[in-house]
Amino acid sequence: MQAPSARRLPPARKEIVGVDVFVHHRGGADDLAGKLNAASGNGLGLDLTMITNRGVKVWPDGLPETFCTDHWRCRFQASSDGQAATDHRAIIGLLQHLAEAQVDFIKTEHLCVFDGQPGYSLGQGQ
């Protein structure tokens, strides 16, 4: 029996629309958001849109009774709808500003869309 022939699809159009920056921080979500917004508000084109802790959205509009650890996911996006593109230089600039503000980032994950479809998991309320 012969295997069916595969049809080659054209490559998907890939765009970077943001970055998740994972941070070690011992304070609360509002404290962290203030520090991140102050560091990122320098015309980089990336806005802090969400902070999660253990998979639960804690900023903005988090519940104060949420148990949080010292490991936070901080989502920065190029626009409020997440569809505007950004680039590696903007992400490097963001990380530079975070480092200067003494934010202890420990990992990053780029947020990409492929042919307009998110290639990343959406957070609560997104």
Cis? peptide before 64, omega within 30° of 0: no
Q: What is the pLDDT of residues 63-111, one digit of tens each?
A: 888 999 999 999 999 975 445 889 999 999 999 999 999 999 999 999 9
Closest CA to 118 of 77, 74, 88: 77
54: CB partners within 8 A, 6+ apart: 67, 68, 69, 71
**pTM listed for this prediction:** 0.88
The domain 14-116 is placed in CATH, from the list 3.90.1150.10, 3.20.20.140, 3.30.70.1570, 3.90.550.10, at: 3.30.70.1570
Mean pLDDT on 37-57? 90
| Side chain identity at residue 53, one-letter code | N
Residues 100, 69: Cα–Cα separation, whole Å:
24
